[in-house]
């Protein structure tokens, strides 16, 4: 135990399952059923956002209007995390709080884009067409509502987190790097407290398009993440969701009398060559290192369902026969940048409640009765980059 | 000789640098143009400018990838800068062996490819036809274009960097943040080398339009080379530009022990976010001032030790006013006499790359003993009383530099560099 151990003192999560830690913990007891929308983006099934009263965390309507849903979702969930950590409205601690957000891009204006696509079929001067339509039809502030670093920007504006603001980009891997970097900075004394997390809103055609450009999505029907079928496509079913964590040094948390959910142990990340058994071997090596520290009884897996990556991860995890695995994308859908933050949040809740989740897919996941002392959290990018970490008792 | 700073942390040396801007490829060409007061801003030829309020930019138009879209050009720019930097450092070009921190613009499927897909689709009038065609086409290049991890992943492959590469955006401060991440990783003892790159080839028509709609760009199109005029009274916006820079960072100790030439020391970095507005700074300039102070504190340096300031100096009415205010807040009366110049007067605003490009130019300023001018300073803003090194380069002994980077979204990051370990 050391004063610079990294502890989790605040958790904000949002997904189709609900809003906040309690809603998720409750929803995941018994035999959790996924909440699905099969119609709106058919043939794609998605896990949609629940109804959210944005004003709970973003009181000013003007601020809400300046954001697209993805930014609102992230800003809202960051607020949940700050509330949970007892830091919301603490001007002094927010002004010195660091922030790392993992973000993708925002939401384009579908109507404007479609108008351009349709008009393009009837004319050849596409460059001029773009200028004509974009100069007249784009909402001026939409750019800011799309810009990757403006999720962090909005968190600064709404919640006054201003110690620093960094945005990492790069799908699932960005979420790993965000938490890894935040934890490393705290451990090294470069930071005392940090808000870290991500949001992904899948309910936009461009978000689905980005996956389908390489045919990564499953079409037509839903199935648990370990049971995705090659004949239905690439295996990913997406969801909207977000996860933000407040990380602090043990000393910082103790000084202000906060109890922690859990502590962040070692985090490993990499960029394995994915040909052959490259990914499985790399994940196996990471597991060997982590399990050497504290053998985790439970794994919260961020497997995406993408066939090759998910097979490799399953094989690597199965090699540790004593570990019960929970593939949370079965119940949330793939949350892209938010995958690893969400996995860490679920892992921390299991430590905090001294209880494992029931299987999310009874055919592929076995029950675990014992209270987990160490939980593995993984995020293996559907296309590249992977990471995992140990979440342990604080 | 001490290899640690006054806080006991390893000193971080720069042992390789590379740069590409509209002025040319490589440090030599850029430096000649920059000290010659030449502008790289021209009328746009790459795409039609009908209906556009701004028709000028600082484009990198001399590469084969210049016409291939933002992703291809950003990658090419990053590669050219990385190669020059790694080559200078003497480290391996294929097995670099340290982490990569890449500042790059957010990516999207390029319009030309979006249009090409749609033309190939069977239906019209719905986004479903676009997605369906995308899936059936399964064009790997289109996919890569929309993946934020792609450019860094390719660079990591090519140069053999270690681990999961970080791609980041702090808007117009991104390049400085990439360097900061490298400095921090070395101070943590995680690596004995790091590659920090800022690259931006995203000056597309849509990017231009988006910034135009925010009234951020200069519309002084008639004489492109005169449009970027930081600190001038008639400045009316920044000029969108492309470019890249790469820096090889190492602990001073390992740089010395392998006999590498040390180009400069990264003494400190600081940041402070602004919570005032999405595009405007807090009226009292306190966040930018806070970032400057944080960088000086991190460097363990007093205000008096700053010999030259490489300004963010975008040439927007707002930035230059706020930069002056915040610097005056920190440096007081002395601010009137500290030389400060804006490279953007010549290269425009290279966005995600700017912080890295300007760090390279800052280090060259120290090494060459020559301060590049702020050109187009014909009509000084009387409210901004600064020594902007007007129009003509100046020879000077510059042992230390403060380089500022400020961006939309409340981003403020500053770097403090020194010629010697100190």
Residues A281-337 pLDDT 10s: 999 999 999 988 888 999 999 999 999 999 999 999 999 888 999 999 999 999 999
Q: Which residue of B has its CA nearest to A91?
A: B275
- Domain extent at residue A298: 6-106+147-392
Residue A1 falls inside a structural domain: no
Whether residue A372 is contained in a domain is answered as yes
For residue A308, give how far its alpha carbon lies from the nearest alpha carbon of chain B (Å). 17
pLDDT tens for each residue of B320-350: 999 999 999 999 999 999 999 999 999 999 9
- What span, in angstroms and rounded, lies between the C-alpha atoms of A345 and A355? 14
Task: Tell me which residue has tokens 């935040």.
Answer: A182
Asked if residue A121 is part of any domain, the answer here is no
Q: Looking at the domain assignment, is residue A192 inside a domain?
A: yes
Contact B169 A148 (CB under 8 A): yes
Whether B147 contacts B107, CB under 8 Å: yes
- By the CB < 8 Å criterion, does A29 face chain B? no
Distance from CA of A44 to the nearest CA of B (A): 10
pTM of the model: 0.98
- Domain-located, residue A124: no
| Residue A112 domain-assigned (yes or no) | no
Q: Which of these ranges, A133-137, A207-211, A321-325, B297-301, has the smallest mean pLDDT?
A: A321-325
B-contacting residues in A 314-373 (Cβ below 8 Å): none
- 3-class secondary structure for chain B? CCCECCCCCECEEEEEEEEEECCEECHHHHHHHHHCCCCCCEECCCCCCCCCCCCEEECCCCCHHHHCCHHHHHHHHHHHHHHHHHHHHCCCCCCCCCCEEEECCCCCCCHHHHHHHHHHCCCCCCHHHHHHHHHHHCCHHHHHHCCCCHHHHHHHHHHCCCCCCEEEEECECHHHHHHHHHHHHHHCCCCCCEEEEEEECCCCHHHHHHHHHCCCECCCCCCHHHCCCCCECCCCCECEECEEEEEEEEEHHHHHHCCCCCCEEEEEEEECCCCCCCCCCCCCCHHHHHHHHHHHHHHCCCHHHCCEEECCCCCCHHHHHHHHHHHHHHHHHHHHCCEEECCHHHHCECHHHHHHHHHHHHHHHHHHCEECCECCCCCECCCCCCECCECCCEECCCCEEEEEEEECCCEEEEEEEECCCC
B277 is catalytic: no
Catalytic annotation present for B349: yes
Q: How far is A299 from chain B (nearest CA, A)?
A: 22
Strands A262-270 and A98-102, how do they pair?
A: unpaired
Contact A168, A103 (CB under 8 A): yes
Flag whether residue B116 sits within 8 Å of chain A, measured between CB atoms. no
CB A269 to CB B164 under 8 A? Answer: yes
* pLDDT at position B280 over 70: yes
Question: Which pair of structure tokens corresponds to residue A345?
Answer: 């949040």
Of the candidates B143, B153, B156, which has its C-beta nearest A213's C-beta? B143
Can you tell me the ipTM of this complex? Answer: 0.98
| Alpha-carbon distances of A76 from A91, A96, A336, A388, rounded to whole Å | 18, 20, 18, 26
Q: How far is A155 from chain B (nearest CA, A)?
A: 8
Rounded average pLDDT over B11-40: 98
Q: What does the block give as tokens for B23? A: 């002025």
Mark yes or no for CB contact A127/B48 under 8 Å. Answer: yes
CATH number of domain containing A286: 3.40.47.10
Number of domains in chain A: 1
pLDDT at B126 over 90: no
Of B119, B146, B409, the CB nearest to A121: B119
Please indicate whether, in this complex, the C-beta atoms of B115 and A157 are within 8 angstroms of each other. no
Residue A31 has pLDDT above 90, yes or no: no
Average confidence (pLDDT) over B149-177: 98
- List CB contacts (< 8 A) between A147 and chain B: 106, 171, 408-409
Using a CB-CB cut-off of 8 Å, the residues of chain A touching B219 are none
Q: With beta carbons less than 8 A apart as the criterion, state whether B15 and B263 touch.
A: yes
pLDDT of B125: 67
Confidence bin at A105 (pLDDT 50/70/90): confident
Tell me what the mean pLDDT of segment A114-139 comes to.
95
Angle at CA of residue B63, ends B61 and B65, nearest 5°: 100
Spatial CB neighbours of A238, under 8 Å, sequence gap ≥ 6: A44, A46, A47, A200, A202, A207, A208, A211, A217, A333, A334, A335, A336
CB B398 within 8 A of CB B308: yes
Structural domains present in chain B: 13-108+146-418 (3.40.47.10), 112-144 (no CATH)
Q: B154, A271 in Cβ contact below 8 A?
A: no
* Contact residues, A window 248-307, toward B, CB-based 8 Å cutoff: 269-271
Find the mean pLDDT for residues B341-368: 98
Chain B, residues 355-384, CB within 8 A of chain A, namely none
Distance from A30 to chain B by nearest Cα, in Å?
Answer: 37
Q: Which residues of B89-123 are buried (b: 16+ CB within 10 A; e: fewer)?
A: bebeeeebebbbbbbbbbbbbbbebbbbbbeebee
pLDDT tier, B42 (very low <50, low <70, confident <90, very high otherwise): very high
State the count of interchain CB pairs (< 8 A) between A and B. Answer: 240
In a domain, A113, yes or no: no
Q: What percent of chain B has pLDDT over 90?
A: 97
**CB within 8 Å: A174 and B156:** no
What confidence tens digit (pLDDT) does each residue in B282-296 have?
A: 999 999 999 999 999
pLDDT in tens, A57-100: 999 999 999 999 999 999 999 999 999 999 999 999 999 999 99
Contact: A154, B142; criterion CB under 8 Å: no
In sequence order, which residues have a C-beta less than 8 Å from that of residue B30 and are 6 or more positions away?
B19, B20, B21, B23, B24, B361
Cross-strand partners of B414 = B270, B404
Residue A118 lies in a domain: no
Residue-level length of chain B: 422
A46 CB within 8 Å of a chain B CB = no
Q: Which one of the listed residues B172, B191, B269, B414 is annotated catalytic?
A: B172
Q: Does residue B172 carry a catalytic annotation?
A: yes
Closest-CA distance, B303 to chain A, in angstroms, reads 21
Q: How many CA atoms lie within 13 A of B137 on its CB side?
A: 24
Q: Does the pLDDT value for residue B1 go beyond 80?
A: no
DSSP three-state, residue A84: helix
Give the one of A144, A210, A214 whose C-beta lies nearest to B408's C-beta: A144
- Chain B contact for A137 (CB, 8 A cutoff): no
Is the pLDDT score of A47 beyond 90? yes
Average pLDDT, chain B: 97
């Amino acid at each position: 135990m050391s004063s610079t151990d990294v502890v989790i003192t605040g958790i904000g999560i949002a997904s189709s399952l609900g809003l906040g830690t309690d809603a998720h913990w409750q929803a995941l007891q018994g035999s959790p059923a996924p909440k699905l929308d099969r119609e709106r983006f058919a043939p794609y099934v998605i896990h949609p956002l629940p109804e959210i009263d944005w004003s709970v965390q973003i009181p000013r309507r003007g601020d809400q209007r300046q954001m697209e849903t993805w930014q609102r979702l992230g800003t809202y969930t960051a607020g949940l995390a700050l509330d949970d950590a007892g830091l919301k409205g603490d001007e002094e601690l927010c002004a010195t709080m660091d922030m790392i957000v993992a973000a993708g891009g925002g939401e384009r204006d579908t109507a404007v884009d479609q108008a351009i696509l349709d008009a393009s079929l009837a004319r050849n001067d596409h460059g001029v067409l773009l200028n004509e339509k974009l100069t007249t039809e784009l909402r001026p502030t939409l750019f800011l509502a799309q810009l990757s670093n403006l999720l962090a920007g909005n968190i600064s504006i709404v919640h006054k987190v201003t110690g620093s603001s960094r945005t990492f980009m790069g799908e699932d891997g960005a979420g790993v790097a965000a938490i890894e970097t935040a934890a490393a900075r705290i451990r090294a004394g470069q930071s005392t407290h940090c808000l870290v997390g991500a949001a992904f809103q899948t309910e936009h055609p461009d978000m689905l398009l980005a996956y389908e450009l390489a045919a990564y999505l499953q079409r037509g029907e839903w199935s648990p993440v370990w049971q995705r079928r090659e004949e239905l496509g690439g295996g990913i079913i997406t969801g909207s969701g977000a996860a933000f964590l407040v990380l602090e040094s043990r000393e910082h948390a103790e000084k202000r009398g906060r109890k922690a959910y859990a502590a962040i142990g070692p985090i490993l990340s990499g960029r394995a060559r994915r040909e052959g058994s490259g990914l499985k071997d790399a994940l196996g090596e990471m597991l060997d290192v982590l399990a050497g520290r504290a053998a985790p009884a439970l794994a919260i897996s961020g497997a995406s369902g993408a066939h090759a990556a998910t097979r490799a991860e399953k094989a690597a995890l199965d090699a540790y026969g004593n570990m019960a695995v929970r593939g949370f994308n079965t119940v949330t859908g793939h949350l892209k940048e938010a995958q690893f933050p969400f996995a860490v949040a679920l892992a921390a809740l299991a430590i905090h409640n001294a209880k494992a989740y029931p299987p999310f897919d009874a055919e592929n996941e076995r029950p675990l009765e014992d209270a987990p002392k160490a939980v593995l959290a993984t995020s293996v990018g559907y296309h590249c980059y992977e990471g995992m970490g140990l979440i342990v008792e604080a | 000789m001490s290899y640690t700073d006054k806080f006991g942390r390893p000193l971080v040396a720069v042992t390789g640098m590379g740069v590409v801007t509209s002025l040319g490829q490589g440090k030599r060409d850029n430096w000649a143009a920059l000290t010659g007061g030449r502008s790289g801003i021209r009328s746009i030829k790459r795409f039609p400018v009908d209906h556009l309020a701004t028709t000028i930019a600082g484009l990198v138009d001399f590469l084969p990838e210049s016409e291939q879209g933002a992703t291809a050009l950003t990658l090419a720019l990053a590669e050219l800068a990385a190669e020059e930097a790694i080559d200078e450092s003497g480290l391996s070009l294929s097995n670099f062996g340290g982490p990569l921190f890449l500042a790059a613009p957010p990516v999207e499927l390029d319009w030309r490819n979006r249009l090409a897909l749609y033309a190939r689709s069977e239906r019209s009038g719905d986004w479903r036809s676009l997605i369906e065609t995308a899936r059936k086409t399964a064009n790997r290049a289109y996919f890569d274009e929309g993946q934020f991890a792609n450019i860094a992943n390719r660079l990591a492959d090519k140069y053999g960097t270690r681990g999961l590469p970080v791609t980041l955006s702090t808007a117009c401060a991104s390049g400085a943040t990439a360097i900061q991440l490298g400095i921090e990783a070395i101070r943590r003892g995680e690596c004995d080398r790091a590659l920090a790159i800022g690259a931006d080839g995203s000056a597309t028509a849509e990017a231009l339009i988006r910034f135009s709609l925010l009234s951020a760009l200069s519309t002084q199109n008639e004489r492109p080379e005169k449009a970027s005029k930081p600190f001038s009274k008639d400045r009316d916006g920044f000029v969108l530009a492309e470019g890249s820079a790469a820096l090889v960072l190492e602990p001073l100790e390992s740089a010395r022990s392998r006999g590498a030439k040390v180009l400069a020391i990264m003494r400190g970095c600081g940041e402070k976010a602004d919570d005032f507005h999405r595009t405007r700074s807090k009226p009292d300039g306190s966040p930018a001032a806070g970032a400057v102070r944080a960088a000086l504190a991190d460097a363990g340096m007093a205000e008096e030790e700053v010999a030259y300031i490489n300004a963010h100096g975008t040439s927007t009415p707002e930035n230059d006013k706020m930069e002056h205010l915040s610097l005056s807040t920190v440096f007081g009366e002395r601010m009137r006499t500290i030389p400060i110049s804006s490279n953007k007067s010549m290269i425009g605003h290279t966005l995600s790359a700017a912080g890295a490009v300007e760090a390279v130019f800052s280090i060259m300023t120290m090494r060459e003993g020559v301060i590049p001018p702020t050109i187009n300073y014909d009509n000084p803003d009387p409210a901004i009383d600064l020594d902007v090194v007007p129009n003509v380069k100046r020879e000077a002994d510059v042992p230390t530099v403060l380089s500022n980077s400020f961006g939309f979204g409340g981003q403020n990051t500053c770097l403090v560099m020194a010629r010697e370990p100190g």
